[in-house]
Amino acid sequence: MSAPQQQQSQQQQQQHVRVVEQQQVEPAEAVTSSMESESISASKELTGLTHECGVFGAIACGDWPTQMDIAHVICLGLVALQHRGQESAGIATSEGKCSKNFNVHKGMGMISTLFNDDSMKKLRGNLGIGHTRYSTAGGSGVVNCQPFVVHTTHGALALAHNGELVNNESLRREVLARGVGLSTHSDSELIAQSLCCAPEDVSELDGPNWPARIRHFMMLAPLSYSLVIMLKDKIYAVRDTYGNRPLCIGKIVPINAGHGNNSDTPADGWVVSSESCGFLSIGARYVREVEPGESVRRSCREVATATVDIVERPDFKRMAFCIFEYVYFARGDSIFEGQMVYTVRLQCGRQLWREAPVEADIVSSVPESGTAAAHGYARESGIEFAEVLCRNRYVGRTFIQPSTRLRQLGVAKKFGALSENVDGKRLVLIDDSIVRGNTIGPIIKLMRDASAREVHIRIASPPLQYPCYMGINIPTREELIANKLNPDQLARHVGADSLAYLSVEGLVEAVQLKHRDAGDSKSKATGHCTACLTGEYPGGLPDELSW
């Protein structure tokens, strides 16, 4: 094939890909890609590794047009969830009138680079959903950007998904057996195509029974997902029966509404989000979590958010909310299970002092997710808290960058030492977790170079020893440093005077303390997934599952 012919063939293939992806979506669909994300995705291979994401949905009360700019509300909501994923993002909106077309803009990169005035103007609508994504090997690419839009005989459906289907292979076989083609390896496409197929035992003479379709999917796939699903004029929020991934509801109140209890205040709109941390910035108030197994519906004309179904998990199975959300992923001002993440991290620090005390002059943290635990450690021990690290806020989080080399390079650029606070001091340095062990060694060296007399490391979570199959990037046991070295060996390896972890029991105690102290009956109903710490998976290993 000649060079011009080859170029023409490539252009035709690219055009075909765009047509398949867009189908009947309006021209607001756009895909942008930075040079960095292109180079990352080009080096990846398909390995089925998991990812961590954030989902967000918003709907205004009343018919289009309203005074609320839903696209901007969603964009700000995604900015608040940016810590959950930085590789791609997207927004889909609907005016609530036409079931055939959604306005969609998505692509590779950060939210601040993806969305500008021109793209936001095209995202007209009275309701919409958004997604921000972190993907690992094999999952990074434009084709996997969300929200995922499919077209059914009943109109368009858009879906955004946080989590990982543990039994995705068996579900994929079932969907393919129905004659449905799948163009990606994305769980989100798999879920969307599953919802497009009506259950055999459900009559739909009067139109699609979406609650029944959602229930059918949830019976097939108990783990692990939080979903926001958009149809022409309504949004569904769905959480798996184990409650493994977070999802909560917020109420957009008028600008002149007072603070405190807004239960009687008329709503301007409603939002649903992986975390509540962005609610105040968009004028919303936290209402509650979507319960495990619950499907919630909201339309423009409904007065309140309605529970349309609850799928129960087996009686012998407990709730399995990911405990690592408290440890690392969530922002400190988010609310899970009726308590603020910051408060739990503070309690982890208190518990860590009780389990692993040490004589020292100052307590400090590896910013920022270790800071709350460091304050708790300092308060419980009576040792002064002082900052010792100055963070460069323009370098990304090292745990979720795609390659070891980037992580190691990131450490060198990430921190500076406040040497006057360190010189001649015995230092206790608190971090939230140790994963691969690449970060803590260079930080200890930085403290030594700043003339610290002793450096004691305390980790406000148990050692990570097992991979996660439910949406967290903890890929293999071989990469986890806790499987190679015990605490004493690791201390010598990284150059610390001592090193200790919080116990699994201590972490669970810190997470459940508020409910237990209050005598809350909810503490009996709660349960947490500690699979990455204990190897006890709530549904078993993927290749052992038979749902």
SS3 letters for 336-398? ECCEEHHHHHHHHHHHHHHHCCCCCCEEEECCCCCHHHHHHHHHHHCCEECCCEEECCCCCCH
Q: If we measure between CA atoms, which residue out of 221, 200, 224, 222 comes closest to residue 212?
A: 200
Query: pLDDT at position 24, please?
Result: 40
> Which entry of 53, 248, 277, 348 is annotated as an active-site residue?
53
* Under 8 Å between Cβ of 385 and 378: yes
Mean pLDDT of the chain: 84
Contacts (Cβ under 8 Å, ≥6 apart) of 488: 499
Query: pLDDT at position 14, please?
Result: 41
Q: Residue 515 corresponds to which tokens in the numbers above?
A: 């409910």
* Local confidence band at 25 (pLDDT 50, 70, 90 cut-offs): very low
Q: Residue 176 corresponds to which tokens in the numbers above?
A: 């393919």
233 is an annotated ligand-binding site residue: no
* Under 8 Å between Cβ of 148 and 20: no
Determine what percent of the chain is predicted with pLDDT higher than 70.
Answer: 82
**Residue in the block written with tokens 């998904």:** 161
Taking CA atoms, 71 is separated from 68, 122, 248, 279, 307, in Å, by 9, 9, 19, 15, 25
Least confident of 5-9, 275-279, 516-520: 5-9
Q: Decide: helix, strand or coil at residue 525.
A: helix
| CATH 3.60.20.10 domain position(s) in the chain | 52-317
* Local confidence band at 280 (pLDDT 50, 70, 90 cut-offs): very high
Instruction: Please write the tens of the pLDDT for every residue from 219-276.
Output: 999 889 999 999 999 999 999 999 999 999 999 999 887 666 666 788 899 999 999 9
**Sign of the torsion angle spanned by Cα atoms 470, 476, 480, 486:** positive
* Under 8 Å between Cβ of 348 and 370: no
248 is an annotated ligand-binding site residue: no
Task: Lay out the sheet containing 498-501: strands in order across.
Answer: 384-385, 362-365, 426-431, 454-459, 498-501
Number of H helices, E strands in the chain: 18, 24
What is the average per-residue pLDDT within 528-537? 94
What is the average per-residue pLDDT within 205-211? 89
Q: How far apart are CA 67 and CA 135, in angstroms?
A: 35
* Under 8 Å between Cβ of 541 and 169: no
Known active-site residue 53: yes
Q: How far apart are CA 228 and CA 377, in angstroms?
A: 38
Topology of domain 335-505, per CATH?
A: Rossmann fold (3.40.50)
Q: How far apart are CA 372 and CA 370, in angstroms?
A: 6
Q: How far apart are CA 282 and CA 253, in angstroms?
A: 9
Instruction: Please write the tens of the pLDDT for every residue from 114-165.
Output: 999 999 999 999 999 999 988 643 466 788 899 999 988 888 999 999 998 9
CB atoms < 10 A from the CB of 75, how many?
A: 25
Q: How far apart are CA 409 and CA 416, in angstroms?
A: 14
Instruction: Please write the tens of the pLDDT for every residue from 75-88.
Output: 999 999 999 988 89
Q: How far apart are CA 512 and CA 510, in angstroms?
A: 6
Kindly state the DSSP code that residue 167 receives in the 8-state scheme: T
Pairing relationship of beta strands 225-230 and 127-134 according to DSSP bridges = unpaired
431 is an annotated ligand-binding site residue: yes
196 is an annotated ligand-binding site residue: no
SS3 letters for 57-100? EEEECCCCCCCCCHHHHHHHHHHHCHHHCCCEEEEEEECCCCCC
Q: How far apart are CA 298 and CA 272, in angstroms?
A: 10
Query: pLDDT at position 474, please?
Result: 72
Determine what percent of the chain is predicted with pLDDT higher than 90.
Answer: 58
**What's 52-317's CATH class?**
alpha beta
300 is an annotated ligand-binding site residue: no
* Local confidence band at 8 (pLDDT 50, 70, 90 cut-offs): very low
| CATH 3.40.50.2020 domain position(s) in the chain | 335-505
488 is an annotated ligand-binding site residue: no
Phi, psi of 6 (to 5 degrees): -65, -40
322 is an annotated ligand-binding site residue: yes
Amino acid at 396: G
Amino acid at 325: E
